[in-house]
């Protein structure tokens, strides 16, 4: 097992783990309920963490994390070709009708 990501919040850790699992990289979330002990232990120990099962998946996982960061940094909006509704540019699907953007 290899720690690949330390999240600020539990939901963030689960989003990353889900994306890794969707890519075929077995990932698990640890410390999801340990944030209350920050201060008693270092934050990087108590914050939610995403671990991958196989060290040989590390390079693919890091590439996926970099792509997630790029997607989050996209600004502006995109117009849905199906319904014409505006959605944030970092959305993959239209918020209104669910069509791919």
Query: Each residue of 36-67: pLDDT tens digit?
Result: 676 777 767 778 999 999 999 999 999 999 99
**Domain 2-73 = CATH 3.30.70:** yes
Spell out the alpha helix ranges (H) of the chain.
Answer: 10-22, 43-46, 58-73
Cα 12 to chain centroid distance, Å, stands at 6
Query: Which of 45-59, 65-79, 80-94 has the lowest average pLDDT?
Result: 65-79
User: Which has the higher per-residue pLDDT, 56 or 8?
Assistant: 56
Please tell me the total number of residues recorded for the chain in this structure.
101
Q: What secondary structure does DSSP assign to 26-54, as a single string?
A: -EEEE-TT-GGGBTTB-HHHHS-EEEES-
Structure tokens given for 92: 């993959």
Q: What is the pTM of this model?
A: 0.69
Domain ranges, ordered by start, for the chain: 2-73
Predicted local confidence at residue 37, as pLDDT: 73
Q: % helix / strand / coil in the chain, to the nearest 5? A: 40, 25, 40
């Amino acid at each position: 097992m290899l720690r690949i990501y330390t999240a600020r919040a539990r939901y963030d850790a689960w989003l990353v783990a889900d994306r890794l699992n969707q890519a075929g990289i077995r990932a698990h979330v640890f410390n999801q309920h340990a944030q209350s002990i920050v201060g008693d232990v270092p934050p990087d120990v108590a914050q939610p963490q995403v671990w991958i099962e196989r060290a040989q998946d590390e390079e693919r996982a890091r590439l996926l994390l970099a792509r997630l960061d790029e997607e989050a940094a996209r600004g502006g909006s995109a117009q849905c070709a199906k319904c014409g509704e505006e959605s944030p540019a970092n959305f993959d699907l239209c918020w209104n009708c669910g069509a791919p953007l």
